[in-house]
Structure 1
Amino acid sequence: MRISILALEGLFDTGLTVILDAFTLANKFSAGQMGGTPYFDVSIVGVRKKVRSGQGLAIPVQAVTAGLKPDWVIVPALNTGTPEQLVPALGRPDVSQAKVQLLKWHAEGALIAASCIGTFLVAETGLLDHREATTTWWLGPLFRQRYPNVLLDESRMLVPSDVGVTAGAAMGHLDLALWLIRRASPELAALVSRYLLADIRTSQAPYIIPNHLAQADPLILRFEKWARDHLKSGFSLQEAASALATSARSLQRRCQEVLGKSPLAYFQDLRVERAQSLLHGSGMDLDAIAAEVGYVDGATLRTLLRQRLGRGVRDLRADLR
């Protein structure tokens, strides 16, 4: 499998290195312990002759040539963690060149993989329009605003499509590399993941901080404060809208536009976050915690936690041990 990693100025160092380390291990095992030849022909390419990482390290890139025909192109994240940094970066000349090159590779049959903020660059090309995708969870509101035609679900860690695959935040680069290795050989991916003490995660939901998402919009921020004050008493869309001096319809629409979910779903996110905090630090039993977040008994809360986080109460408590 021919893989080209598209390196741009100021990329996220960890994203690039974990991808390289994963494929290096995979090639080592496939050529050595598994008695075969290396599965992956990996190259780092750039639209500029000289590229430096976000930490200022020189990255040895190959020039993009007409003869370069990758099966997969991987787009690592830029080291731009806020909208104020990211939006100007997307307008850089080298990013514009990279977009043109991605479209050319795609037209020639290459599949495109991107993680974290790298997904923004792919979305800029229009290739993700009307397709499911994920991105770094804390920039979900910006992604949704900038690319309304993309079917975004930032709760997921990996989202394949006919264009390729998108992955979630930061260490999602490793999930992405393991996913690609698994396509070639599940046995090889299992071996690499054991050496790296890592495995593919299916969800970003346990890592999402609702307050960070609320910062994207003044009305959502006010709704978050109202919701936190009413976790114990329960949710009423009409009460929330009245308290915020808006209509229920406007609140519903704004939550969908910014967060990609209903006010009730966001209220449930806050309940889950509060319940997790109490599970980890309060010493309270599950029924008492359920009462604190507005449920009659612990069974209902247990079901909600498993639905949202994919883990049971025992697993969540064990995180502290």
Structure 2
Amino acid sequence: MKTILVLALEGAMDSCLAITLDTIRAAQAFQSRSGKGGAVRLLVAGHRKTVCAGNGMRLDTDLSVAEVAAGAARPDWIVIPGLGLSTDEAIDARFTQKDAIAAMDLLRQAPRTTRIGASCSAVFLLAQAGLLAGRHATMTWWLAQSFRARFPDIRLDETKMLVRDGPCLTAGSAFAQLDLTLAVIADTMGTSVAHLCSRYLLIDQRPSQARYMIRSHIQHADPTVIAAERWVDANLSSPISITQLAAALAVSPKTLSRRIDAAMGVTPVKFIQRRRLLHASHLIETTTKSIEAIAAEVGYQDGTALRKLVKREFGTTPAALRG
């Protein structure tokens, strides 16, 4: 029998915790009705017998983190819902608390066969525990800069909805917990059960966070990168080379590349492409301009090129973005 262990920490986001439990229980019901595959056990572990989530939801746990560490359960998956952290001060304080310390110890001691998934600010817990060192990951896009400053050795791509690297599966913003949970269901109960959950619960596939990013919210402290964003945005309709951009900012291409990588975790080419796509998605959603006109405005040769990039990066079509 496979076991999914949901690690419920104090103050976790009520919605993330409830989404995880409800979706897994729905999957268990679908699997039971189909009569296919072995049963999958769902357990909830916490630091205490009763866990209080961030907005007051109280949940009785099946066993304590200490009991799991002592061998009371050998989970195939450990899933950590988002922690509801939104400031650097809250992040710093959270990982000095007893339940977080015990959870990180448990994650470090987990067998190599155990897979671990976390979404949103819970990805900080995996990183703080050392599980993501040198690995690829994603997390909520609006905390990405804080994450990158703390863990420069982790290869973060906050545009992705899900990133799997080794035993770790990371997910984006809070409701990407749905995507993470479906991936866990597919792994433990099969893809057909995961598809049934997706259909019955009306869960849309969202492979990218990029389309949800609010342009004005993507902040970082590097003045050179801020100036690069402004210059690129002002010249979107024209071809832009890295040499041209570096010259406009009075830095060398090597310095520009290093600063963009440190601030955004991408190459200058990808950085420019993101600016084009962010502006294109904004125009698609807020205007009635044709795709060809928008493509020309943001520097693509034709509408076909823009459509392909939107599909690749956002996992949808321009028509779907426009609704």
| TM-score after normalising by structure 1 | 0.88
Percent identity reads 38
Contact 2:82 2:119 (8 Å CA) reproduced: yes
| TM-superposed deviation, 1:21 | 0.5
CA 1:307–1:105 in 2, change beyond 3 Å: closer, same or farther?
closer
- How far residue 15 of structure 1 moved from its aligned partner, in angstroms, is 0.8
* 1:263/1:91 CA distance change after superposition, 3 Å: farther
Tell me if structure 2 keeps the 8 A contact 1:106–1:112: no
Match of 1:18 in 2: 19
1:8-47 mapped onto 2 (5 Å cutoff): 8-31=9-32, 33-35=33-35, 39-47=39-47
* Structure 1 segments unaligned to the other structure (5+ residues): none
SS at match of 2:31: helix
Equivalent position of 1:139 in the other structure: 143
- 1:13-61 deviation digits (Å, cap 9, x = unpaired): 1111111011111122222x32468832112111244432111322322
Contact 1:178 1:199 in 2 (8 A): no
The CA RMSD measured in Å over matched residues stands at 2.4
User: What residue number does 2:7 align with?
Assistant: 6
Q: Which moved more, 1:110-119 or 1:195-204?
A: 195-204
Distance (whole Å) between structure 1 residues aligned to residue 46 and residue 95 of structure 2: 16
Q: For the residues of structure 2 that align with 1:257 and 1:74, how far apart are their CA atoms?
A: 29
Which piece of structure 1 moves more, 137-146 or 22-31? 137-146
Structure 2 distance, partners of 1:240, 1:260, is 18
Helix, strand or coil at the partner of 2:158: coil
- Could you list the structure 1 runs, at least 4 aligned residues long, displaced by more than 6 angstroms after superposition: none
Aligned residues of 1:135 and 1:169 also touching (Cα < 8 A):
yes
Q: Where in structure 2 are the equivalents of 1:226-265 lying within 5 Å?
A: 226-265=231-270
Q: Counterparts of 1:90 and 1:242 in 2: how far apart (Å)? A: 43
Please say if 1:177 is aligned against 2:178.
Answer: no
Work out the CA distance in 2 between the residues paired with 1:201 and 1:290: 23
2:34 corresponds to which letter in structure 1?
Answer: M
CA contact (8 A) 2:23 2:181 kept: yes
Amino acid at match of 1:53: A
Instruction: Choose which of 93, 98, 101 in structure 1 pairs with 2:106.
Output: 101
Q: CA deviation at 1:243?
A: 4.5
Q: Check conservation: 1:114, 1:166, Cα contact below 8 A.
A: yes
Distance 1:6 1:129 in 2: 21
The answer to whether the aligner puts 1:149 opposite 2:153 as a matched pair is: yes
Structure 1 residues 38 and 12, CA, compared in 2 at 3 Å: closer, same or farther? Answer: farther
Report the more deviating stretch, 118-127 or 247-256.
247-256
Kept after mapping to 2: 8 A contact 1:235/1:264? no
User: Structure 1, residues 139-163: CA drift from partner, whole Å, max 9, x if none?
Assistant: 2222222222323222222222332
Unaligned stretches of 5+ in structure 2?
Answer: none
User: Residues 1-321 of structure 1 correspond to what in structure 2 (within 5 A)?
Assistant: 1-31=2-32, 33-35=33-35, 39-61=39-61, 62-64=63-65, 65=67, 66=70, 67-106=72-111, 109-183=113-187, 184-317=189-322, 319=323
TM-score, normalising length: structure 2 = 0.87
SS in 1 for 2:39: coil
SS state of the match for residue 171, structure 1?
Answer: helix
SS at 1:117's partner residue?
A: helix
